[in-house]
Amino acid sequence: MVLSTEKMQKVRIIGLHSDRESIVITLHKIGVIDLRKSALQLSDAQQASNFTELSDMLIKVNGALQALEPRPVKVARHLKLEQLMGELKHMHSLDRVYEIIGERRLIHDDEELLSQAYHVATAFNGIDMDFSAMRSNALWFRAFEADKKGVSEFNAAIEKHSRGKGGFRRSDVQTIVKPIPGKKRMWLIFVAYRKGANVDDALKEVKLNELDVTAKYLDAKPAEVLNRIRARRASNAKRIHELEKELTQINNHIYSGLAVAKEALEIELSRAGISTIFKKTDSAFIVEGWIPAKRMQDLRHALQKTTSGRFQLDELHVDHHEELAPTLVNRPGFLRPFDFLMEFLSVPRSDEIDPTWIFIITFPIFYGLMVTDVGYGFASLLFSTWITKKTDPEGLMCNAAKIWQLSSVSAMLFGFLSNQYFGFQLNQYFTTFTGFDWLKDATVLIGITILFGILQVVLGLAFGAVNTWKHGEKKLSVSKVTSILTVVFGTLAVAGGFFALVPMNIALVSAGIAIVSLVLTGALSGIEAAEITNLITHPLSYARIMGFGLSSVIIALLIDQGFTPHLSQGIPLFIVYLVIFIGLHFMNMVLGIFEGLIQGVRLNVVEFFSKFYKGGGVKFRPFSYKRVYTEE
């Protein structure tokens, strides 16, 4: 059925231990079963003996690929596991990649130390002092960077503590303050003091950037240290260049093979790891899972071919209260972004009506009516297409943009039907169809949108009645039917009593039925009774479609009337008016697009889905793989 997910069947597979590997490979190849652990009180099967070895090798291969530059990959045959592991273990180039990675890391760490030492040596350059002399048993040596204000604060703190009680003698502290070469308005403060002198308290009062005078490579006079660092940096740069050149050569040679090996290892690791969900006896293993009911014969035929009949395949009856079947939907590829969005909200349950088709139909209509302009629709089509090209095809942004693309076509269609082209009416230039008029037909349009809301709310209640009946909630199901009667006959009563759209006698009878239905709803279900006010507000909420569409048309019309540029105004004013014209239409378009997207989703999720949709399903995830670089 269109409004239901794929019918699923739970199965149990029993096979001999000697056939376990071949059965696992078969299940992996056909990719039609979502494997689950059996609840039978039996021993758990052990993990495949080569799982750890495969995992370690996959990590190693993947790490090497991360270090290499991506290159075109040539599709290759999937090797047998023993041959694949043998080739990888003896691949000298793979080990060499890790040696290069390690050496580059050491050079990078060395560069950080060199940079730190260079910074300090530069600050001390010009002082006739050997850094190796700063390793003394009698004196402490400390150095700081400071601006002019920091220097003043430092001097004040030293003077304060050298005179105060519990301080230190000024003769115990020697300081050098000098400008730092190459740094404007920055000064070096060098402090040497006798061990035991209480200088730290004074230094704590001033927030200064301390330099590490004991850093590696600081073992000579500043000028000599700088020369040594420059020479070592040049050597490091040369070595890095050599390593990068070698890595490029390796890259050209092994990247394609490693990409193929990675895919093959992922497939083999998936097969090796699945055994942990098996149950076992002395001679057999048991595994269960869910499969699309229409694929049962495919599964049976594949197992028969693999084991020559040495298996047992049982169909299990499972109540949805015990275990919920996974959800599987099959839709054309261009509509799958709607499934992605539904999964983002909540996966439909396999035992309830799937609302996705209703969402697919109504969302573009809502968006088209609220944007309702050929120009705005075409601009949103271009922008949404650009987003699909620039974002991850599997991500939320890309899938939302694909939905936006389809909805943009709807906006262009409704723009044509209402004769709107950036607020201008242009149909008369290429067709005799003038379309409907948002301003003249506003009353009719608001009636149509409210009627649309009533129909969708009634449909949601009908879906809710079906779902709750299937789940055994009989009274709640009947209360939804009485809610439908309340909405339908209440609408007829209002239409006849206030707008004379139906005869008065029919309106009176309808009012009576609506009141009785309303009372029954409250009596049958407190849950549905709490939703009674929504039976009025939710259909009226659909009037926002007309409101946003009409406001977009009026704003576009005002922009055209006030700021359409004409060459008769002169070139300067023409340019000014053109900029304003484009800017205002852009803002109106953005507002219309934003409201169209947000309100289109809101009307479905809040007003429609709330009547029946639970969600919280489990997506069908078959034990399968996708080959890109390998083939059987």
CA distances for 335 relative to 88, 329, 407, 454, angstroms: 42, 11, 12, 26
Q: Is 324 in the same domain as 341?
A: no
Q: Is 524 in the same domain as 571?
A: no
Q: Is 295 in the same domain as 444?
A: no
Please check whether residue 629 is in contact with residue 72, taking contact to mean a CB–CB distance below 8 angstroms: no
Closest CA relative to residue 598, chosen from 371, 419, 320, 339: 371
Q: Is the model's pLDDT at 402 over the cut of 60? A: yes
Q: Is the model's pLDDT at 3 over the cut of 90? A: no
Query: What are the backbone dihedrals phi and psi of residue 143, each rounded to the nearest 5 degrees, phi first?
Result: -140, 150
**Is 15 strand, coil or helix?**
strand
Confidence tier at 305 by pLDDT (50, 70, 90): very high
Q: CA quadruple 578, 580, 581, 586: dihedral positive or negative?
A: positive
Both tokens assigned to 453: 């809301």
Q: Is 413 in the same domain as 551?
A: yes
Quick: pLDDT tens for 244-274.
Answer: 999 999 999 999 999 999 999 999 999 999 9
Q: Is 547 in the same domain as 421?
A: yes
Please check whether residue 306 is in contact with residue 65, taking contact to mean a CB–CB distance below 8 angstroms: no
Q: Is the model's pLDDT at 485 over the cut of 80? A: yes
Please check whether residue 449 is in contact with residue 545, taking contact to mean a CB–CB distance below 8 angstroms: yes
Q: Give me the pLDDT at residue 1, please.
A: 57
* The model scores a pTM over 0.75: yes
Please check whether residue 218 is in contact with residue 117, taking contact to mean a CB–CB distance below 8 angstroms: yes
DSSP 8-state code for residue 531: T
Q: Report the C-alpha gap between 429 and 31 in whole angstroms.
A: 56
Of the two residues 471 and 311, the one the predictor is more confident about is 311
To 10 degrees, the CA torsion angle through 512, 517, 522, 528? -140
| Structural domain contains residue 561 | yes
Mean pLDDT within 312-337: 89
| Structural domain contains residue 530 | yes
Longest dimension (CA), the chain: 113
Both tokens assigned to 454: 């009533």
Displacement of CA 104 from its chain's centroid (Å): 34
Q: What domain range includes position 156?
A: 136-213
Mean pLDDT within 172-196: 87
Q: Percent of the chain having pLDDT more than 70? A: 99
Of 213, 236, 259, the one marking the end of a domain is 213
Q: Report the C-alpha gap between 304 and 312 in whole angstroms.
A: 10
Q: Give me the pLDDT at residue 434, please.
A: 82
**What CATH number is given to the structural domain containing 5?**
3.30.70.240
| Structural domain contains residue 181 | yes
Please name the residue that has the structure tokens 């009547």.
611
Q: Is 291 in the same domain as 428?
A: no
| Structural domain contains residue 526 | yes
Closest CA relative to residue 312, chosen from 11, 13, 9: 13
Of 164, 179, 213, the one marking the end of a domain is 213
Mean pLDDT within 92-115: 95
Q: Report the C-alpha gap between 333 and 335 in whole angstroms.
A: 5
Q: Give me the pLDDT at residue 399, please.
A: 93
Average pLDDT, the chain: 90
Q: Give me the pLDDT at residue 165, please.
A: 64
Q: Is 469 in the same domain as 512?
A: yes
Q: Give me the pLDDT at residue 286, please.
A: 95
Q: Report the C-alpha gap between 104 and 247 in whole angstroms.
A: 11
Q: Is the model's pLDDT at 166 over the cut of 80? A: no
**262-295 exposure pattern, b = at least 16 Cβ within 10 A, e = fewer:** bbbbbbbbebbebbebbbbeeebbbbbbbbbeeb
Mean pLDDT within 530-538: 76
Q: Is the model's pLDDT at 164 over the cut of 70? A: no
Q: Is 294 in the same domain as 349?
A: no
Both tokens assigned to 457: 């709310």
Q: Give me the pLDDT at residue 268, please.
A: 94
Closest CA relative to residue 33, chosen from 15, 17, 7, 11: 11
Of the two residues 264 and 570, the one the predictor is more confident about is 264
Mean pLDDT within 120-147: 88
| Structural domain contains residue 26 | yes
Of the two residues 13 and 488, the one the predictor is more confident about is 13
| Structural domain contains residue 194 | yes
Closest CA relative to residue 370, chosen from 500, 242, 551, 194: 551
Q: Give me the pLDDT at residue 589, please.
A: 92
**What CATH number is given to the structural domain containing 183?**
3.30.70.2750
Structural domains of the chain, count: 4
| Structural domain contains residue 418 | yes
Q: Give me the pLDDT at residue 288, please.
A: 95
CA distances for 141 relative to 173, 191, 245, 476, angstroms: 10, 6, 44, 83
Mean pLDDT within 50-77: 94
Confidence tier at 523 by pLDDT (50, 70, 90): confident
Q: Report the C-alpha gap between 606 and 538 in whole angstroms.
A: 9
Confidence tier at 528 by pLDDT (50, 70, 90): confident
**Is 243 strand, coil or helix?**
helix
Quick: pLDDT tens for 25-34.
Answer: 999 999 999 9
The CA-to-CA distance between both ends of the chain, in Å, stands at 36
Q: Is 433 in the same domain as 567?
A: yes
Q: Is 419 in the same domain as 566?
A: yes
Q: Give me the pLDDT at residue 321, please.
A: 75
Closest CA relative to residue 174, chosen from 193, 157, 155: 193
Q: Is 548 in the same domain as 431?
A: yes
Q: Is 152 in the same domain as 207?
A: yes
Of 489, 505, 540, the one marking the end of a domain is 540
Q: Give me the pLDDT at residue 539, please.
A: 82
| Structural domain contains residue 515 | yes
373: left (phi over 0), alpha (psi -120 to 50) or beta: beta
Q: Is the model's pLDDT at 285 over the cut of 90? A: yes
Of the two residues 164 and 421, the one the predictor is more confident about is 421
Q: Is the model's pLDDT at 534 over the cut of 80? A: no
Q: 284 forms bridges with which residues in the sheet?
A: 16
